[in-house]
Amino acid sequence: MQAMTFDECEELLISWAKNERLEEKLDFSAEKGAFSFPQPPQGEGALDPDEASKRPAHEVADVFRLYGEEYRSKHTLTSEQARAMHDIEHCRTAEMGEHWDVCDMCGHIEKSYCSCHNRHCPKCHGAARRIWVRDRLNDLLPVPYYHVVFTLPDEELHALYPYNEKLLYDLLFDCSAETLLLFGRDPKWLGAWMGFFGILHTWGQTMWRHPHIHYVVPGGGINEAEEWVKAKFDDTFLFPVKALSMRFRKLFTEGLKEGFDAGLINFPPDWKHGESPKAFGEWLGKLGHKEFVVFTKAPLGGPEGVVKYVGRYTHRVAISNHRILSIEGGVIRFSYKDYRSKDENGEYEWKEMSLEADEFIHRFLCHILPKGFHKIRHFGFLGNGKKAVLDRIKLYLLFEEGVGSIPGIEEKCGLDECGVRICPVCKVGGMLPVVVIHRYGTIVIRNLSFLRIVDSFNTS
């Protein structure tokens, strides 16, 4: 084993990167206090057996690699759809570049291909999700939390989505959030200013377009005297769902009418309901009699339940790779949860569906959001620029209600205090990048003096 100084290690990394000897991997022995040169890693990414066994057998990227070119030759894609297909197809491959991360405590090193960071990629966002959850921890209040879902009717609006995605999704956010704020201000239900955040999902289990928003709502609000007001039905539900549904439907149909009058709605060819104000008014009247489903759950079990929830929902995409069962002969078979059928134990049943590759890709691409669209939004006292209000609420709960902070919950996001991923080996240090080879050939080398285990090195 050859011991090296920091400068020698850095020179070696630069030399390897420039000469494209990227198949080799550094290994560090804390006991010996030196970097050594093991055999080149075997297989793509040199995954250990346990990690490799967790990988799904099939991926959306595999579908794009096999059938994407044929799909693109037959269909016109938006720029965002084309970019998403390219990024997902090449995510964590050599084309995206690679990075080497080292633990600043035990010296454990991991070499990985770079992620595409496209927000629609099923393989990305593990780190983004952890960081987002960590950032939300400081906003959590020691009160009950509710899960509220607002859903639009599918059949009636299906034809308009491809031509008005941003308008309809913005309207869904605006009307559902306003509904909650209106009920919160009403003394009959709460009489206080609420705060909450919502997450837009545009898909159902079989990837049909099914827009709905998941809201996480603290059980209470702050009144004009800056006192915390508890939810009146805090053991069962936040607000009655039928009343929420009726108000939501009214606001949404009024928003559509305003959009039509302002000429903001684009109509598909030969869609007869958009031919005149009278035809649109008749269609809108029928829509006003449809059910706008609002669903709410009992409290999520406190802040710990909220952390578990947001970690599951925030960065989801239309389908996860683990649900794809097979790709064979131009047919993709995948599993889905049927919310209309329960088994003998009262659990929703898992079933299987098979789609032609062309239809599978089409359904997936329906959920590529417009550029710059924010699918996670905050409202009320949890909105942007409201940190001072949130701090006053925390102080009130601490001194008036005797409810303080939430100890120990920070450990659940998998990050240290600086937002760095915790080492999977020693569980103490942080995994920091020492080499990044960008997809366009740029090489970034980090000075190794950041390591906290300097006593283990030969620095002579």
pTM above 0.95, yes or no: no
pLDDT value of residue 130:
73
Q: Summarize pLDDT for 340-354 with one digit per residue, the tens.
A: 888 888 889 999 999
The per-residue DSSP string of 153-186 comes to -HHHHTTTGGG-HHHHHHHHHHHHHHHHHHHHH-
Contact 127, 141 (CB under 8 A): no
Q: Summarize pLDDT for 243-275 with one digit per residue, the tens.
A: 999 999 999 999 999 999 999 999 999 899 988
Q: Determine how many CB atoms are found less than 10 A away from the CB of residue 347.
A: 9
Residue 456 has pLDDT above 50, yes or no: no
Closest to 250 (Cα-Cα) out of 179, 315, 316, 300 = 179
Both 304 and 384 in one domain: the answer is yes
Question: How far is 71 from 75, CA to CA, in rounded Å?
Answer: 6
Assess if residue 82 is contained within a domain: no
Both 35 and 135 in one domain: the answer is no
pLDDT value of residue 288:
93
Both 31 and 176 in one domain: the answer is no
pLDDT value of residue 449:
54
Residue 301 has pLDDT above 50, yes or no: yes
Contact 332, 354 (CB under 8 A): yes
Both 385 and 299 in one domain: the answer is yes
Residue 128 has pLDDT above 70, yes or no: yes
Of 317 and 434, the structure prediction assigns the larger pLDDT to 317
Both 142 and 253 in one domain: the answer is yes
Both 166 and 27 in one domain: the answer is no
Question: How far is 247 from 67, CA to CA, in rounded Å?
Answer: 45
Both 34 and 107 in one domain: the answer is yes
* Pairing relationship of beta strands 348-356 and 331-342 according to DSSP bridges: antiparallel
Question: How far is 247 from 176, CA to CA, in rounded Å?
Answer: 9
Contact 386, 379 (CB under 8 A): no
Assess if residue 159 is contained within a domain: yes
Residue 9 has pLDDT above 70, yes or no: no
Rounded to the nearest 5 degrees, what angle is found at the Cα of 166, between the Cα atoms of 295 and 373? 90
Assess if residue 78 is contained within a domain: no
Boundary residue ending a domain (413, 431, 448):
413
Question: How far is 85 from 60, CA to CA, in rounded Å?
Answer: 9
Mean pLDDT of 322-349: 92
Question: How far is 41 from 231, CA to CA, in rounded Å?
Answer: 57
pLDDT value of residue 420:
74
Both 197 and 180 in one domain: the answer is yes
pLDDT value of residue 410:
47
The two three-digit tokens of residue 118, written as one number: 């496209």
Question: How far is 318 from 88, CA to CA, in rounded Å?
Answer: 13
Q: Summarize pLDDT for 173-206 with one digit per residue, the tens.
A: 999 999 999 999 999 999 999 999 999 999 999 9
pLDDT value of residue 96:
87
Both 383 and 421 in one domain: the answer is no
Structural domain boundaries enclosing 155: 127-318+366-413
**Average pLDDT taken over every residue of the chain:** 81
Residue 221's beta-bridge partner residues? 229
Rounded to the nearest 5 degrees, what angle is found at the Cα of 83, between the Cα atoms of 81 and 89? 100
Both 16 and 160 in one domain: the answer is no
Q: Summarize pLDDT for 363-420 with one digit per residue, the tens.
A: 999 999 999 999 999 999 999 888 888 888 888 887 766 555 544 444 445 555 555 7
Closest to 192 (Cα-Cα) out of 182, 202, 201, 200 = 182
The number of domains in the chain is 2
Both 35 and 52 in one domain: the answer is yes
Assess if residue 79 is contained within a domain: no
Contact 113, 438 (CB under 8 A): no
* Pairing relationship of beta strands 109-113 and 97-103 according to DSSP bridges: antiparallel
pLDDT value of residue 51:
46
Assess if residue 213 is contained within a domain: yes
Q: Determine how many CB atoms are found less than 10 A away from the CB of residue 223.
A: 15
Boundary residue ending a domain (378, 397, 413):
413
Assess if residue 187 is contained within a domain: yes
Assess if residue 306 is contained within a domain: yes
pLDDT value of residue 8:
52
Assess if residue 348 is contained within a domain: no
Both 98 and 186 in one domain: the answer is no
Contact 66, 357 (CB under 8 A): yes
